Amino acid sequence: MNLLEDARALQGDLVQLRRTLHRAPETGLDLPRTQETVLSAIDGLGLEVTTGRGLSSVTGVLRGARPGPTVLLRGDMDALPVAERTGLDYASDNGRMHACGHDLHTAMLAGSARLLAQHRDRLAGDVVFMFQPGEEGFDGARHMVGEGVLDASGSRAEAAYALHVMSAGTGRGRFTTRGGPAMAASNVLTVTVRGAGGHGSMPHRAKDPVQPACEMVTALQAWITRTFDVFDPVVLSVGTFHAGTQQNVIPETATFEATVRSFSPRAQALVKDGTVRVCEGIAAAYGVRAEARFDELYPVTVNDEAEAAYVARTVAELHGEERFEPMAQPLSGSEDFSRVLDGVPGAMVVLGAAPEGADPDTSPNNHSPYAAFDDGVLADGAALYARLAADRLTAA
Ligand SMILES: [Zn+2]
């Protein structure tokens, strides 16, 4: 099968599909129009299609001609609450924007379903196509995992792959990934210190929450430098701090919130327990109470070493060696594809999609209202999705 040639024949359709999605972006877990568009794009391919119960996901299962293992391919479908300013003729005007390129992921995944359906007779095993809402902070992947997407074919997927386009940072048409941590864990630390209010002139008759809260903010930074390996870093930034109403009144409470990023399961576990302990310990020393909550948004996205190497080989075979670039460091963004990789070995793969002629070092980043993605990469991305699944299932 020549997947690349077949994919290039689909390029016009994929551009059309992508631009249809781009014009009408939806955000969060409920994407009814997007779901409808996807359902019609994969209609007639002979997939077993189910839709989500608690979210507007689409799961398609393609049965190969012979039995074998299952490979899962994931594309996210949601947009962002960003007002588009690209000036493109297919730009969105509804106040939401596909500023992270998920419209391209959806089109590439639908394209790979078409490609693999054409070659179903060659496949020994099944492919699960995971069309996911709510990647942007809504943990849609966790919902889909909860609804059984990893076992959608009847047996647990053996490998999982996801593509992510970038409007900056990576050269157009280049694929990059790495084994091990590929993206950060994202967490929120919320602390409320409860003291006892009183007169500012008589702190001994009150329990001031401001002083211990300030110590917590500085102690957390010091504790991080004494706890974590510099080569396995943790970043903590306090983004809000609120207390009090007037200079001569000791308030009842002080609260602050921090974003906490980490890059390994070990650092994540340490930072989760440690930040809460530091805050509670300081509160105890002052005789006040701290309610410290550490909420994990997304875990570290950890690529399987062997699967990342398989992606690198497959890109080189399909597109040529010069199209693959090893990812030197993990990205500091985070991804709920980490939920899938917690259950199935696989890899998150980045595809450079800065517009032709634009310098990826200076072009607007993902999430910018000016972010532009070149849909010239669609056929190549769809071919890679298909080839990653097909090679696993013909080699098995
Ligand atoms: Zn994204």
The pTM of the full predicted model, rounded to 2 decimals, is 0.88
Q: Are strands 175-177 and 180-183 parallel, antiparallel or unpaired?
A: unpaired
The rounded Å distance from CA 278 to ligand 1 centre is 33
The rounded Å distance from CA 336 to ligand 1 centre is 10
Length of the chain, in residues: 396
The rounded Å distance from CA 315 to ligand 1 centre is 21
How much is the pLDDT for 156? 98
The rounded Å distance from CA 103 to ligand 1 centre is 10
How much is the pLDDT for 352? 97
What distances in angstroms separate CA 150 from CA 55, 71, 141, 160, one per listed residue? 16, 9, 10, 9
What phi-psi label fits residue 180: left (phi over 0), alpha (psi between -120 and 50 degrees) or beta?
left
Helix (H) or strand (E) holding 12: helix 3-23
What are the residues whose beta carbons fall under 8 Å from the beta carbon of 85, sequence distance 6 or more? Answer: 369, 370
The rounded Å distance from CA 164 to ligand 1 centre is 7
Taking a C-beta distance cutoff of 8 angstroms, is the pair 69, 346 a contact? no
Which residues is 71 bridged to in the sheet? Answer: 127, 159
Helix (H) or strand (E) holding 5: helix 3-23
The pLDDT tens digits along the chain (396 residues) read: 799 999 999 999 999 999 999 999 999 999 999 999 999 999 999 999 999 999 999 999 999 999 999 999 999 999 999 999 999 999 999 999 999 999 999 999 999 999 999 999 999 999 999 999 999 989 999 999 999 999 999 999 999 999 999 999 999 999 999 999 999 999 999 999 999 999 999 999 999 999 999 999 999 999 999 999 999 999 999 999 999 999 999 999 999 999 999 998 899 999 999 999 999 999 999 999 999 999 999 999 999 999 999 999 999 999 999 999 999 999 988 999 999 999 999 999 999 999 999 999 999 999 999 999 999 999 999 999 999 999 999 855
The rounded Å distance from CA 368 to ligand 1 centre is 12
The rounded Å distance from CA 297 to ligand 1 centre is 15
The rounded Å distance from CA 109 to ligand 1 centre is 15
The rounded Å distance from CA 98 to ligand 1 centre is 9
d(CA 66, CA 272) in angstroms, rounded, equals: 46
Taking a C-beta distance cutoff of 8 angstroms, is the pair 387, 314 a contact? yes
Helix (H/G/I), strand (E/B), else coil: 261:
strand
Nearest to 131 by CA among 63, 66, 46, 47: 47
The rounded Å distance from CA 311 to ligand 1 centre is 20
The rounded Å distance from CA 165 to ligand 1 centre is 8
The rounded Å distance from CA 186 to ligand 1 centre is 14
Taking a C-beta distance cutoff of 8 angstroms, is the pair 249, 206 a contact? no
Question: Positive or negative CA dihedral for 188, 75, 350, 343?
Answer: positive
The rounded Å distance from CA 259 to ligand 1 centre is 19
d(CA 385, CA 113) in angstroms, rounded, equals: 9
d(CA 96, CA 176) in angstroms, rounded, equals: 28
What are the residues whose beta carbons fall under 8 Å from the beta carbon of 115, sequence distance 6 or more? Answer: 3, 6, 7, 10, 382, 383, 386
The rounded Å distance from CA 122 to ligand 1 centre is 32
The rounded Å distance from CA 102 to ligand 1 centre is 6
Taking a C-beta distance cutoff of 8 angstroms, is the pair 351, 377 a contact? yes
Which residues have their alpha-adjacent CB atom under 5 A from ion ligand 1?
100
How much is the pLDDT for 363? 96
The rounded Å distance from CA 166 to ligand 1 centre is 9
The rounded Å distance from CA 308 to ligand 1 centre is 19
What values do phi and psi take at 304, rounded to 5? -70, 135
What are the residues whose beta carbons fall under 8 Å from the beta carbon of 234, sequence distance 6 or more? Answer: 224, 227, 228, 260, 261, 262, 267, 271
The rounded Å distance from CA 24 to ligand 1 centre is 17
The rounded Å distance from CA 136 to ligand 1 centre is 7
The rounded Å distance from CA 156 to ligand 1 centre is 25
The rounded Å distance from CA 163 to ligand 1 centre is 10
The rounded Å distance from CA 14 to ligand 1 centre is 19
Angle at the Cα of 197 from the Cα atoms of 195 and 201, rounded to 5 degrees: 120
How much is the pLDDT for 265? 83
The rounded Å distance from CA 26 to ligand 1 centre is 14
The rounded Å distance from CA 298 to ligand 1 centre is 13
d(CA 106, CA 113) in angstroms, rounded, equals: 11
Total Cβ atoms within 10 A of residue 245: 7
How much is the pLDDT for 394? 82
What are the residues whose beta carbons fall under 8 Å from the beta carbon of 35, sequence distance 6 or more? Answer: 51, 56, 57, 58, 77, 131, 133
d(CA 257, CA 213) in angstroms, rounded, equals: 11
The rounded Å distance from CA 149 to ligand 1 centre is 20
